Copies of this chain bind each other. A is one copy, B any other.
Amino acid sequence: MITEEDRFRDHLKKKGLKFTSERKLILKEVFSSHKHFDVEELFGRLRKKDRAISRATIYRTLPLLIESGLIREALRCRDRFYYEHVFGHPHHDHLLCIGCGKVIEFRDERLEKLQNEVCKKYGFELIEHRLGIKGYCKKCQKKISKST
């Protein structure tokens, strides 16, 4: 079974890059939880460990993880990118609640198919897509209707 570390090592080797202890720690931390994360949060989590890692290194490592197909930019919200795992987690899209920030993941085969159709129609080669739906979750709808 291939692990995320195998995958990362492979990618680095192919590019003639090194598997350093910093990259290993970042990889480990990224895959220690399945939640969406941003750079600041990751930096904070890493700082708490025995070995702090500089922001610069994190900013340099994330693109490598993306190239390796391990993570991707999932959504943008309040001017920040949030990343999520790709490795071991099937593709999905997001419902993002404007009220409470809650993120609901969903997958709909029909949407995927339709997107492929659209691309075919325009002779476009699909590399990746991102669908973000913003609105209000159930709870926040109730809150709003109460307050008015």
Instruction: Write the chain B residue with the least CB distance to A136.
Output: B125
How many copies are assembled?
A: 2
Is A108's CB under 8 angstroms from B98's CB? no
**How many angstroms between the C-alpha atoms of A129 and B125 in the bound complex?**
22
User: Does A119 sit at the interface, judged by CB under 8 A?
Assistant: yes
Contact A115/B133 with A76-B76, A122-B104, A122-B106 known, Cβ cut-off 8 Å: yes
Q: Which A102-145 residues sit within 8 Å CB-CB of chain B?
A: 104, 106, 108, 110-111, 114-115, 118-119, 121-138, 141
| Size bracket, chain A contacts | 20 to 34
Q: Tell me which residues across on chain B come within 8 A of A27, comparing CB atoms.
A: none
Measured between beta carbons, the chain B residues less than 8 angstroms from A124 are: 95, 97, 104, 133, 135-138
The answer to whether B135 and A119 touch across the interface, beta carbons within 8 angstroms, is yes
Contacts of A122 in B (CB 8 A): 95, 104, 106, 137-138
A129 to B93, CA, bound (A): 11
In Å, the complex CA distance between A130 and B133 comes to 6
A130 to B132, CA, bound (A): 5
Whether A133 and B129, one on each chain, are in contact in the complex, defined by CB atoms closer than 8 angstroms, is yes
Beta-carbon contact of B114 and A141 below 8 Å: no
CB of A110 to closest CB in B, whole Å: 6
Binding site for B on A (CB under 8 A): 76, 95, 97-98, 104, 106, 108, 110-111, 114-115, 118-119, 121-138, 141
